[in-house]
Amino acid sequence: DAGITQSPRYKITETGRQVTLMCHQTWSHSYMFWYRQDLGHGLRLIYYSAAADITDKGEVPDGYVVSRSKTENFPLTLESATRSQTSVYFCASSGFSGLTGEQYFGPGTRLTVT
């Protein structure tokens, strides 16, 4: 579990501000993911990345931007935060392919947009 970290753990920002959430993993996993968790919706995929410089949209990508210049880092940016983006954000990584592919989750970032 210590192999994947997120920062900050808590963030309060104002509507319209740009916010970047950081995710770092030390396992050299190929795949990385960003989820948001809201009551009643479980975990919804925002963006994912299969490798450095390869990213793709998930279920709820609007309002978010990602990049992955290095295998170990996968930052998530809210370009102009809105109240609807208040949520808990989890980063995850996976190093397997084929029939398994356990995802390891970071500790989460609780974001409040006022």
Partner 1 sequence: GENVEQHPSTLSVQEGDSAVIKCTYSDSASNYFPWYKQELGKRPQLIIDIRSNVGEKKDQRIAVTLNKTAKHFSLHITETQPEDSAVYFCAARGPNYGQNFVFGPGTRLSVLP
DSSP 85: G
- Kindly provide the residue ranges of all beta strands, DSSP E only, lying in 26-71, ordered along the sequence: 31-38, 42-51, 54-57, 64-66
Given 2, 40, 62, 69, the residue binding partner 1 (CB under 8 A): 40
Q: Does residue number 42 form part of the binding site for partner 1 (CB under 8 A)?
A: yes
CA distance 24 to 109: 13
CA distance 59 to 35: 9
Q: Does residue number 2 form part of the binding site for partner 1 (CB under 8 A)?
A: no
For partner 1, the binding residues in 50-109 under the rule CB under 8 A are: 50, 58, 90, 94, 96-97, 99-103, 105-108
Stretch that binds partner 1, among 12-20, 37-45, 64-72, 79-87 (CB under 8 A): 37-45
Q: Which residues bind partner 1 (CB under 8 A)?
A: 1, 31, 33, 40-45, 48, 50, 58, 90, 94, 96-97, 99-103, 105-108
